Amino acid sequence: MSTTHSDELLAQVAALPPLPGVYRYFDAQDALLYVGKARNLKKRVGSYFTKQHGGTRVGHMVSKIARLETTVVRSEAEALLLENNLIKSLNPKYNILFRDDKSYPYLKITGVAARDGTGDAPGQCYPRIAYYRGAVDKRHRYFGPYPGAWAVKETIQLLQKVFRLRTCEDTVFANRTRPCLLYQIKRCTAPCVGFISAQAYASDVHGAEALLRGETQELLQALEERMLAHSDKLEFEQAAEVRNQITALSRVLHQQSVESLSDKDVDILAVKLAGGRACVNLAMVRGGRHLGDRAYFPVHVEDAAGVYHLEEGGDGAGAAPDHSIEAQVLTAFMAQHYLGVPVPPTLITSELVEPRLLDALQQQSGVRVTVVNQPREQRRAWLEMAQQNAEIQLARLLAEEGSQQARTRALAEALDLDAENLDQLTIECFDISHTAGEATQASCVVFHHHKMQSSEYRRFKIEGITGGDDYAAMRQVLKRRYSKVAEAQQEAGGAEVTNAQARLPDLVLVDGGKGQVSVAREVFTELGLDISRIVGVEKGEGRKVGLEELVFANGREKVYLGRDSAALMLVAQIRDEAHRFAITGMRAARAKVRVSGSRLEDIPGVGPKKRARLLQRFGGVRGVADASVDDLVTVEGISHGLAEEIYRALR
């Protein structure tokens, strides 16, 4: 056993059961180092502490382990699912991690009781098609997921061309008195004014669903039968309508190059590595249509690859089909990605997939999943396309990162900052925004690891100052941001603060010249913080871009970096992002202030039921605001006195 670990930890390792489970390693600061799975916890975890790892990444990680947590599960498949749930939520340093904050968009067809053209609500009797992003439920029908918003919108346009389904909101639909422009351009059948029966509209909905499921041949055959049936009954106008649908559908299918294969829903996954980075390209085929792709870039690839051999052989479970880093990345992506996304019945991959991963995916989804590693014909073309796109996206990322790293290094050298660990160089930038003193907002944006960290941005609502006093606003935001940093440093007594939010950044940028820098210096001096980290970005002559100068709080002479300086490009990028973030916050706050007094819910006497009736009658708040007192009185429950009150409040 290792002599560098506590007896308590080693005793805990020795007492582990020979059962499947998940283990987690923590360092002395209680930061999570690694999450792993095991068929046999005793053998797997024990292998980390009984073997000599030298100066490898494994050895570096093991030397930091101060605490261990384990969770016993019923099977290795359950262990794999739990492992990747924890990886996604806890972000350990030595695991391959895919970050994807965006949910996938779906195409939604409203209502579930509309299949026979019956139902009370417009969404049931005449379902609408819509773009949707969020959690799915059983009240509507969802198709997807799609790789991006553009794919959903393109599909909606396709369905509008062929089946002319409505896209308007129910409140608008219920209050139409004449067809809208979409009817005029033959993109809607105008069910809002009764130009199509509920039964005929339901048939169009069924056709749209069939197309989304990839049942194109069956759909064409059904439409031809409908056309002939109308013709036999001498209903030539209806037959012509169906003929036009067939023509439009045939044209769309030709343009979309839909293949007549058995593949309805397929995901294609390709991996490429270069320059120490990896890219997984995911292409989606839904309903037989290739919808496009999406690139993912994992972090911690090199550190995670260093411990992979223990993960595969430490408990005698046997080696994986492929020990390459590409296979590791693909395995991590599939395990993490399909935790929250439905698994299609067919996966086409550029690398071999472990059988236990396939078992876990099937166990979680309840769907039989087939993985194809060496596809042929059309599938082969799909995989080659995904591989090429992965290579292109990875090259673009490396070029961008190289440029960004060069900017970071140039700024560090220009300002004499520590250039040894540029990845950890942290910059925070502040900006103030308002309109003639109204709705003053301060923004704080954060830069580290060579890119802006939007998840760490903060906005501050500035109150208690004279409108338009930017100096007072800057003083307030800096005190609110760094007073806790000063407290943490005092409590640490000179030791390094481990909490990232409580650490002072390497550079504090303020958008302004000597005045703003003087305010920042006063705040930092009052809090006992290092004033040498404060830098102001002063506009140059004529406030022209590229002529900015840097102003320092510690008395250093101004620095002009030069119009083509990489350091100035980074400073301008961060400053502009702070400005953008402040302006968007200010505009939102200002809009809220200006309309808060005129919202329906703030009007005395207008409860949820009356508000719903008003919105339904007039199609929205704007329609209510435009209505006269006589119009408002016609709504059930609205008296003449209340109508006058609503009229005054909304004007």
Residues 578 and 620 in one domain: no
Position 412 in a domain: no
Q: Which of 88-92, 280-284, 520-524, 576-580 has the lowest mean pLDDT?
A: 88-92
Q: State which of 232, 256, 280 marks the end of a domain.
A: 256
Residue 514 has a CB neighbour count (10 Å cut-off) of 12
| Boundary (domain end) residue, out of 594, 619, 640 | 594
So what's the pLDDT on residue 317? 43
What is d(CA 77, CA 20) in angstroms, rounded to the nearest whole number? 9
Identify whether residues 441 and 554 lie together within a single domain: yes
CATH of the domain at 303: 3.30.420
What is the rounded average pLDDT of the residues 522-550? 83
Domain-located, residue 576:
yes
Write the burial class of residue 152 (CB in 10 Å: 0-12 exposed, 13-18 middle, 19+ buried).
buried
Nearest-angstrom CA–CA distance, 390 and 382: 12
CA separation, residue 340 to residues 188, 301, 361 (Å):
34, 22, 11
Q: What is the pLDDT of residues 142-160, one digit of tens each?
A: 887 888 888 888 888 888 8
Same domain, 449 and 581: yes
- The predicted pLDDT at position 597 comes to 41
Q: Given pLDDT bands bounded at 50, 70 and 90, which one contains residue 59?
A: confident
In the DSSP assignment, the letter for residue 509 is: E
Domain count, the chain: 5
Cα separation, 427 vs 208, in Å, equals 51
What pLDDT score was predicted for residue 507?
A: 93
Is 360 a member of any domain?
yes
Structural domain contains residue 416: no
* Domain that includes residue 53, residue range: 7-90
Q: Which of 319-333, 401-415, 584-598 shows the lowest per-residue confidence on average (mean pLDDT)? A: 584-598
d(CA 496, CA 605): 58
Q: In terms of domains, do 208 and 327 share one?
A: no
The answer to whether the CB of 351 falls within 8 A of the CB of 327 is yes
Q: Do 390 and 474 belong together in one domain?
A: no
Cis amide leading into 375 (omega within 30): no
Contact 592, 447 (CB under 8 A): no
Q: Is the pTM of this model over 0.85?
A: no
CATH code at position 67: 3.40.1440.10
Confidence band, pLDDT 50/70/90 cuts, at residue 17? very high
Structural domain contains residue 99: no
Above 50 in pLDDT, residue 596?
no
Q: How far apart are CA 268 and CA 283, in angstroms?
A: 5
Is the same domain home to 244 and 154?
yes
Asked if 210 and 115 sit in the same domain, the reply is: yes
Q: For 463-485, how does the pLDDT look when each residue is reduced to its tens digit (9 = 90+)?
A: 888 877 889 999 999 999 999 88
Residues 445 and 460 in one domain: yes
Residue 275 has pLDDT above 60, yes or no: yes
Encode pLDDT of 243-271 as tens digits.
776 776 665 554 444 444 456 789 999 99
**Are residues 580 and 633 both part of a single domain?**
no
Do residue 482 and residue 544 come from a single domain? yes
Tell me the mean pLDDT in the region 523-535. 92
In a domain, 405, yes or no: no
Sequence-separated (6 or more) residues with CB below 8 Å from residue 168 = 128, 176, 180, 192
In sequence order, what are the beta bridge partners of 97?
A: 299
> How far is it, in rounded angstroms, from Cα 168 to Cα 511?
44
Token pair belonging to 247: 């023509």
**Contact present, 131 and 160 (Cβ < 8 Å):** no
d(CA 370, CA 423): 41
* 531 and 607 assigned to the same domain: no
* Residue 189: inside a domain: yes
Query: Residue 615 sits in a domain of what CATH number?
Result: 1.10.150.20
Q: Using an 8 Å Cβ cutoff, are 473 and 432 in contact?
A: yes
406 falls within a domain: no
pLDDT band with cut points at 50, 70 and 90 for residue 549: confident
Residues 532 and 583 placed together within one structural domain of the fold: yes
Give yes or no for residue 281 having a pLDDT over 90: yes
Quickly state the pLDDT bin for 535 (edges 50, 70, 90): very high
Q: What is the pLDDT of residue 224?
A: 75
| pLDDT tops 70 at residue 494 | no
369-406: pLDDT as tens digits? 899 988 888 889 899 999 999 999 888 888 877 888 88
Q: Which of 222, 256, 290 is the last residue of a domain?
A: 256
Q: Looking at the chain, how many residues does it have?
A: 651
